[in-house]
Amino acid sequence: LAKTTQPISMDSYEGQEVNITCSHNNIATNDYITWYQQFPSQGPRFIIQGYKTKVTNEVASLFIPADRKSSTLSLPRVSLSDTAVYYCLVGVSFGNEKLTFGTGTRLTIIP
Amino acid sequence: GAVVSQHPSRVICKSGTSVKIECRSLDFQATTMFWYRQFPKKSLMLMATSNEGSKATYEQGVEKDKFLINHASLTLSTLTVTSAHPEDSSFYICSASAPPSYNEQFFGPGTRLTVL
């Protein structure tokens, strides 16, 4: 899996839009980008996955520029319950392959 | 769908005892399950890959005789921490390979192990 780099931590106020950027300079042609969310004392939870351009679901949006060397997870109008650690992973297959988690970004939402 | 459970959710044991943690895929069959360990404020570290019906593959630095993994069926994998010591206290998380239509793994809720 390609190495990823994310900010260690971020703070934001409730109601704001939060953008977390992940760098993956060595991404391969067949690699996908997946983001997981982990609340304290819980297992990670899949948020969103994409290959290029923009992907949106009911929880977040994922923006991927043309060179795919980075990606940005966008959380609209965050609430206190969005306080969690967010992990960016890059790879071909996320189902049967072992995953390498980086440091993740610890997002703290301030009331 | 695609729910993974772990049991127990938390366990406290005395040093020197063994503890078994179960990981179950509730509504799907998982040919592969993974075991991770996570220390406070740290990221998940893969311990081993468990394939149904075969021996687990351990990551470098993980003692296979201390962390026994059994994947006897397509819905159950167990991790036994043998002769547990305080330094084994951690959050243990399993994940299961998803059905073919999903390109993701499904994670269990984790087990908090505290060794006194």
Q: What is the pLDDT of residue A2?
A: 67
pLDDT at A48: 95
Instruction: Reduce the DSSP state of residue A18 to 3 states and report it.
Output: strand
Q: What is the pLDDT of residue A5?
A: 94
Tokens of A106: 């610890």
Biggest alpha carbon distance in chain B? 43
Alpha-carbon distance B47 to B55, whole Å?
A: 14
Residues of A in contact with B34 (CB under 8 A): 98-99
B interface with A, Cβ–Cβ below 8 Å: 4, 6, 31-32, 34, 36, 43-46, 49, 91, 93-95, 97-98, 100, 102-110, 112
Please, are residues B32 and B96 in contact by the beta-carbon 8 Å criterion? yes
CB A26 within 8 A of CB A51: no
Q: Which residues 46-75 of A have a C-beta within 8 angstroms of B?
A: 46, 49
Which of chain A's residues have a Cβ under 8 Å away from the Cβ of B49? Answer: 98
What pLDDT digit, counting tens, does each position of A40-92 carry?
Answer: 999 999 999 999 999 999 999 999 999 999 999 999 999 999 999 999 999 88
| Residue B82 CB-half CA count within 13 A | 8
Q: Please tell me whether residue A100 adopts helix, strand or coil conformation.
A: coil
